[in-house]
Amino acid sequence: MNLNTLSPAAGSKRVAKRVGRGIGCGSGKTCGRGHKGQKSRAGGFHKIGFEGGQMPLQRRLPKVGFNSRKNHLSNEVRLSELEKLSEDMIDMAVLKKLGIISAQCCRAKVILSGNLSRKITLTGIAVTAGARKVIESLGGTVEV
């Protein structure tokens, strides 16, 4: 293979249409842009969704969806985060003090993510079934 023999595959590159070369080429005079109007001019541009000053469709339709205000008040805690803690008795106050959960958080839930290698006691914190199984298998307890 030589550099001077490299070329694109057949049909992968289209030849650019040459416009404005007279009536015989089929795209002379107006060059396929039609007559007059914004889109026929050089630099003719309008915003996507612009409807000539009419209220656009995306603004006419109602807003949908829902953002829960409770969602900001709950956090998830991984088992790997609990592993890093030095305390064996863990509750909401301990998690807030150590910065694992935010200060305005009202609820927390321990999820099965990461490993736990020691016995801990959770009080007042929700736990998923998988995380509960791991904690209790190591001799720890979960008090809701």
H or E element that contains 60? helix 57-60
Which of 131, 120, 139 is CA-nearest to residue 79?
131
Flag whether 85 is in a domain: yes
Asked if pLDDT for residue 90 goes beyond 90, the answer is yes
Q: Which has more confidence, 132 or 72?
A: 132
Average pLDDT, the chain: 92
In angstroms, the CA 62 to CA 82 distance is: 44
Asked if pLDDT for residue 75 goes beyond 90, the answer is yes
Q: Degrees (nearest 5) of the Cα angle 57, 59, 64?
A: 105
Flag whether 69 is in a domain: no
| Domain count across the chain | 1
pLDDT at 45: 83
45-73 confidence digits (pLDDT tens)? 888 989 989 999 999 999 999 988 888 89
Flag whether 36 is in a domain: no
List the CATH number of the domain containing 120: 3.100.10.10
Flag whether 61 is in a domain: no
Residue ranges making up the domain that contains 136: 75-143
Give percent of the chain with pLDDT exceeding 70.
100
pLDDT at 114: 92
Flag whether 114 is in a domain: yes
Flag whether 127 is in a domain: yes
Flag whether 136 is in a domain: yes
In angstroms, the CA 135 to CA 144 distance is: 14
Flag whether 34 is in a domain: no
In angstroms, the CA 142 to CA 144 distance is: 6
In angstroms, the CA 39 to CA 116 distance is: 65
Look up the pTM and report it: 0.54
